[in-house]
Structure 1
């Protein structure tokens, strides 16, 4: 099991990206959360089997057709009890 934290930069707020990440994270049975940050970026924490976490990253990089990802920062993140991947407000 791994846990990754991604900060997504670009046109990532107001384009349905959080919902997109939540839906795909749930399909992959991942734990974690996705939330908007005050600087206009989006934070994603995804925890689960390595293959599934990497698949979610690939899906995020492809985008939802409305978002425009300009940069992504990736860090390892502590394993925790996050519950199913959800949107935090």
Structure 2
């Protein structure tokens, strides 16, 4: 079965060789920043704003997923219907 990341030619993944190029670009950028020159025009404010936005988005997604999971687990679906009946018989539910 083919992975969605595999190219049409052979079994080579698209990212297999390209991550070296990305790492090389990042290393060059870091070296130039240490020398006081910036190849990528990114300001500190942009990084801070992006970090805050990603944190808020990740936090919101985590909260929604956790809430939905807890709600689903608390609902009496499938096997839970039997459990609900047992709890009613013992007077442990409303």
Q: TM-score band, normalised by the shorter chain?
A: under 0.3
Compare CA radii of gyration and give the structure with the larger one. 2
The structure that is helix-richer by fraction is 2
The TM-score with structure 2 as length reference comes to 0.20
The structure that is strand-richer by fraction is 1
Structure of greater relative contact order (alpha carbons < 8 Å, 6+ residues apart): 1
